[in-house]
Amino acid sequence: MSSTLLECRGLTMKFGGLVALNELDLDIRAGEVLGLLGPNGSGKTTFFNVVTGIYAASAGAIRYEGSDISKLSPQQINRCGITRTFQRSRLCLELSVFDNIMIGDHQRLNNGLWFNLMRRTRLETQIREAFDRARELAATFSRTLSEKLLRPAGSVTMIDRRRIEICRALISQPKLLLLDEPSAGMTHEETRELMDDILLVRKRIPGLTVVIIEHEMNVIERITNRCVVLNYGRRLCEGTYREIASNADVQQAYLGQS
């Protein structure tokens, strides 16, 4: 069995009288691809927001590699090795593809005024090295995309924009990648291509752990090792895709079947 990378116990998130996460217990194992499922409003994206520090949990604890990260800021959590994408695109379309990717690694770059003004040679080396890393990462997804790093992000296709967002999350070399509906807004063919990309990335980045929120069940069936289904902020069940798809409680809550 793989070791536990992230452990949540009693995780609760309240927005006034609305309980979005209700004493949730959930473990994420190192190296797995975990599908996080559930009907709209079940707490999936709220879970991502709490884990990444966007929301401070109302109660409960989050432990990552054995350390409590419940009270850390989003920047501190990012430095721990947890990154994410968002369901709605967060790209700066006027900026270049390269600039958008490197936003995900800004904490490792030296952005001080003294460095930028007085150490121009080192700055040039840093930018060149960053460009090479961004190009290599983009090429993992698409050789064509890797040749467009200096073009505005708004000039590329929807699937390439999703690739850019995933590259931005990967450029800092995280251990845990959280993907929030990466296929949103794409065709079935584009979705299939993007899932091919994610599977290829996992082969090229050994040990990368992925949690994916996705409503396309063929995606979940294809790329996940294990699934957890949420309902009303609680864990309804977990297991392989086939196990959760045949679960009567899941069919009632998620698929609307009695």
Per domain, the residue ranges of the chain are 1-81+175-258, 95-173
pTM for this entry = 0.91
Q: Give me the pLDDT at residue 106, please.
A: 72
Among all chains, which residue has been given the structure tokens 């379309």?
A: 93
Residue 81 has pLDDT above 50, yes or no: yes
129: left (phi over 0), alpha (psi -120 to 50) or beta: alpha
Residue 51 has pLDDT above 80, yes or no: yes
Q: Give me the pLDDT at residue 221, please.
A: 92
126 pLDDT band, cuts 50/70/90, is: confident
Question: Can you name the CATH fold of 1-81+175-258?
Answer: Rossmann fold (3.40.50)
pLDDT digits (tens, 9 = 90+) for 165-197: 999 999 999 999 999 999 888 898 999 999 999
Distances (CA, A) of 162 to 7, 66, 89, 105, 182: 28, 32, 8, 17, 7
Residue 107 has pLDDT above 90, yes or no: no
How many Å apart are CA 66 and CA 28, to the nearest integer? 12
Among all chains, which residue has been given the structure tokens 């902020």?
A: 233
pLDDT digits (tens, 9 = 90+) for 192-209: 999 999 999 988 888 999
Task: Give SS3 for 154.
Answer: helix
Share of the chain above pLDDT 90, in %: 72
Q: Give me the pLDDT at residue 113, please.
A: 58
**Contact (CB, 8 A) for 214 and 20:** no
Q: Give me the pLDDT at residue 237, please.
A: 92
